[in-house]
A and B are shown apart, each in its own frame.
Chain A
Amino acid sequence: MNKLLAEEMYSLMVLGRAFEYAAKENYMNGNVSGFLHLDIGQEALSVGAVKAFEKGDIFSGYREHIIAISRGLQPKAVMAELFGKSTGVSGGKGGSMHLFEPSRFFYGGDAIVGGQIPNAVGCAYARALQGKEDGVMVIFGDGATNGGAFFESLNIAATHKLPLLFLCENNQYAIGTKITRAAPFKEQAKKAEPYMLTYSVDGMDVEAVYKVIREAQIQIQEGHGPVFVEAFTCRFEGHSVSDANSYRSAQEMQHCKAKDPIKHFQQVLRDSYLLNDDEIAAFQTKAQSVVEEAVTFAIESDEPDSKALYEHVFCEEA
């Protein structure tokens, strides 16, 4: 990884965290509603994976603000979507869980646990047929690996040797149910082992994430078929803003926050890339101003027009 890329990833991580705190604040003051799933603590995974999978299509679940921003969606358009405004990436009709930008090869934004996985399989089939070798990355949580859609997808992707990267964000909790109470082992990559090459990585380490996703994508590009990557993370917040996080002890939370990926990467920036504290602080200042602009933009944007209710159900009127 070169210095420029390291700086870009760090700036996205601090932007992502600032964005999430602003989203939370605006949820608390009533500007944002519905379900809001924050990615605080997991920035290394979202940023590292998306930057590493630079070309190709990305499908994700509903904890996807930082994934979307790392893919190049404008923070202000994402914030406006959270506010339900007409200038949001989905015109205010999707909300936090449904961000889409096909022009950036980003397809959401799915709020049915594991529901995006069969869609990613189909897209990977299309890419294989079209001879596009970069393939598809699908991001889902550990909870999704217990559902039928996941197992069907492993089977189909492996049978057709599809160019598909399964990325499991294992934060150990399906809302409040610890993974070991819902599955017989902690490592969900075991479920994929009979079907494909698997990797596991510390999802709190952005460099490690970047490296493993690059390697996995090369496997795909070389035509070896699907790959499964399991990244172990921990989220600093509850499942969503309305989850009090009461199922994790203070000690567990302390342990989790000790692995802060941003603090960890700051040290790397100092040691390996020789950035000084002022240079590092400048990224934070910049992120703060981008987020403030995004919030202002969202506040000042218009509500969707009443006729938007009926728009985009179909392409063609019958």
Chain B
Amino acid sequence: MLYREALNKALDEVMQNDESMVVLGEDVGLYGGSFRVTEGLVEKYGEKRVIDTPIAELSIVGNAVGMAIGGLRPVAEIMTGNFLLLAFDQIINHMSKLRYMSNGKVTLPMVVRFPQGVSKQLAAQHSESYEQMLCAVPGLKVLSVNNVNYAYHALKHAVLSDDPFIFIEHELLYNKKGEVNFDEDLDPFKAIIVKEGKDITIVSYLKMVDDVMLAVPEIEKALGQSCEVIDLCSLNPVDYETLSKSIEKTSRLVMVEENHKTGGYGNQIVSWAVEEMFYTLDAPPLRLAGEDVPIPYNRSLELSSIPTPDSIARDIIAWGQQNNV
């Protein structure tokens, strides 16, 4: 099954069983979804429950908030991360706060899902990542999806939950293949140990997990050390338990992320490790992130602006050699 098919299946199954669930967004209905995640849903559930919206992101999220207040279970799709910025007022001032401001009287069972990140030469206004901003807002649960099994289970969990979720996908992962274990009782807030190892903990999420995995053989060969690779999955809340167990074993932490380095999401993980695990660490933590520039169009400049399997291997090997790893 493909990543986008797993997402589609999760939506389909909940819609089948819960008449209050609706999907809304640009081209999610008759067109089938920009990345075909909602393909086939309008034929099954009709245009009233699979709603093609105008290009008005503020309203897509703002209406979803109102639908949730009115007793529906909306899943809003935003075409790409950069467009989500038009909806930030509704996400930050309404979606994340109505429950708290009303002392628990208002409940918002809703999901905002969107892809983000560098795809291929889409340039600065279609390539950026925003998890760092969204995770800085209390009141939102933020999940990031790397693999097909997680895509299915995590989306189903998010849609069925009564809390507001931010659900982050990656443009380059929609055609990723994998199996879904339908019998699994997956906890979407638990980080996944993608590869076990004993010397270096490498933490990542979204597409960078795959890039790290491509870099690992070269790193292990060059340093003669084994890497443990962790997919964080849930970016807020963070599964610190899995991270601390791993760092206790390896005593070394590398954080790999695609967003810009300054103010980037990995700051949170590294600062936690320095505050909580300082005496366990045998080397300064390493953070690999995107350059502090808008994403350029030119392919070679674009690839230079974010970590790649080659740069990840090169930078971790250099750090390892410098720190006697």
Contacts and interface: CB of A to CB of B under 8 A. Distances in A.
Q: A and B bound?
A: yes
Interface of A: 57, 59, 89-94, 98, 100-102, 107-110, 112, 115, 117-127, 129-130, 148-149, 152-153, 155-156, 159, 311-316, 318
B94 A115 contact: yes
B66 A124 contact: yes
A113 B5 CA distance: 40
B52 to A, nearest CB: 10
Contact of B103 (A90, A115, A314): A90
A243 B78 CA distance: 40
Interface in B37-62: 48-49, 51, 53-54, 56, 58-59, 61-62
A313 B66 contact: no
A156 B162 contact: no
Contacts of A125: 51, 63, 66-67, 70, 72
10 contacts: A115-B94, A117-B62, A118-B65, A118-B66, A119-B69, A120-B66, A121-B62, A126-B67, A314-B139, A318-B141
Nearest to B187: A318
Contact of A152 (B59, B64, B68, B99): B59
B107 interface: yes
B162 A93 contact: no
B103 A91 contact: yes
A156 B56 contact: yes
A206 B56 CA distance: 36
Given A125-B67, A155-B54, A149 B103 contact: no
A313 B70 contact: no
B89 A115 contact: yes
Contacts of A129: 22, 48-49, 72
B34 to A, nearest CB: 20
B141 A100 contact: no
B245 interface: no
A90 B99 CA distance: 10
Given A98-B102, A129-B49, A149-B58, 5 more contacts: A98-B101, A115-B94, A118-B59, A122-B69, A313-B139
B90 interface: yes
Contacts of A115: 62, 89-90, 93-94
B58 A313 contact: no
B234 A318 contact: yes
Contacts of B99: 312-315
A223 to B, nearest CB: 15
Interface residues of B, number: 45
A76 B302 CA distance: 60
A100 B101 contact: yes
Interface of B: 22, 48-49, 51, 53-54, 56, 58-59, 61-72, 74, 89-90, 93-94, 98-107, 138-139, 141, 161-163, 189, 234, 237
Name the 8 nearest CB pairs between A and B, nearest first. A122-B66, A118-B62, A126-B70, A91-B103, A122-B63, A312-B104, A100-B102, A119-B66
B190 to A, nearest CB: 10
Contact of B106 (A102, A130, A311, A318): A102
A149 B59 contact: yes
B63 A156 contact: yes
Nearest to A111: B93
B64 A122 contact: yes
Contacts of B56: 152, 155-156
A93 B98 CA distance: 11
B103 A93 contact: yes
A14 B139 CA distance: 39
Given A121-B66, A312-B100, A100 B105 contact: yes
A315 B63 contact: no
A189 B178 CA distance: 55
A74 B90 CA distance: 29
Contacts of A108: 98, 101-102, 106
Given A115-B62, A115-B94, A314-B141, A122 B70 contact: yes
A124 B71 CA distance: 11
Contacts of B90: 115, 118
B66 A126 contact: yes
A98 B103 CA distance: 10
Output the residue of B48, B61, B65, B103 with the most chain A CB within 10 A: B103
Contacts of B104: 91, 311-312, 315
Contacts of B103: 89-94, 100, 311-312
Nearest to B164: A314
